[in-house]
Chain A
């Protein structure tokens, strides 16, 4: 199966945890994420957002149903193959950034390619290019603790993109950011989405979700409704504000 039109598709996915009595974290979720789309997933705590993320990110396998990432069914893959698929086809952006504390910005961005066996020079070139694109061209030698929250999240975004994944999964990407830096990061998301990256953002904040093309509302492990917002651009920010925002992050 070559590159399908669907980056990720879930069909009747159920995930059950045995915590004394069976708990259905996800109960029959069917969802297609088309290539190049921008999807937000919303829902209260315990609605199954994280479980959905873990399944789409090939970190976990469903109890029942099918999760297909880049044309491959995750539950038929062994641990090695899943790791490999995750490494090449999924990019993660976490609420807490999750950068390696002892690696500088460049090395953090290059890390996923290290595990793909890409040689050092290629890795560094690629990482440098991406850091420049997220506006951190002059911060490549900085360690994570020398960067602001917004800068860290931009490094994390660059890292998520380094292997040109089918999908970028962002889990509460602005949860630890103030309003201004949140806007910068979300602008970058929009920018990469415009450039063709498939984005899935999990959030519980309405204004973050509204940046997406559609919002999937989860409740008690089921899809409550899907809200279509149509095509979105860079939101409320003008190109001038965009540039100013990048400048303040430096």
Chain B
């Protein structure tokens, strides 16, 4: 019976190629929209994960004051180098403890100038933040200790100040001091928040404190948890140690925060995942519209083919055979639409992923779901027209003009 219905349905589709194509176009677009949206959404999620991984593995960020959102933090004293030493000494689970302080400064080299973040760091910073040196070298111990005027440039700053020239050995003026460029950082690209991670200049922390800021403050400490050690434990240990050092009594609120990058990562990927689902849901509305298109055309087709249905009934087709024929016709149409939609979606996803600079993630599950959904659309929206065809009275149908 199914094979027969398939045979009849395929003959019917072949008889009306143009109408068939127009009918399945709605499903093609619907399926393609769903797959493209979900694929791009998942690509974006992956991109966020990769970006966060590039910030550093198992990274804890310690800042003074309670961070309460962008630009909102309670006032609290900065850290000192002694805090850093204590963290290094007392918490063995930390692979790196990197103090830093930042100033916004216009860097000048020759005729070019560029407003950027100048970060004072020590030798553990690169490791904690997963930076690698692309050219030149890192700071030496003596440069760090004595606060020498040397700097390492991020890719953006290098491009802005030196263009195609080799900057190593050149000098960059930061406020009153003139620094020698000793190294270049490997580019990281845009962060998940949309900011340029390569727009920075690294100088020794001591240089920043003494010769630019004029204080001894450490504004942020990056903690890198050693592989195999629990970040939760390390976070708790760091909090306890800092409370002690900052003389916070039991019951009093911390005047600093220790944040786990993974928390932020999960928050961000959670956001993109919700967004993906939302986009997919919106796109599936277009699949629904495609289904209504199928129903519309099938209804027109039933009316148009009333006499033909009469002939089939007179010849001896049973009600359910006519029903099956039209139902199979709708399902075959919508399934072909689904397959074409998948092909279109894969092409479009690869293209758009390249354009939007998100990785292309092939998800066979969503492809399968979209295909089954398209077939289901055929069943659901084909049923009503098919039943109408099957219930025609053969005598009236044969007389139909």
A and B assemble together? no
Interface positions of A (Cβ within 8 A of B): none
Interface positions of B (Cβ within 8 A of A): none
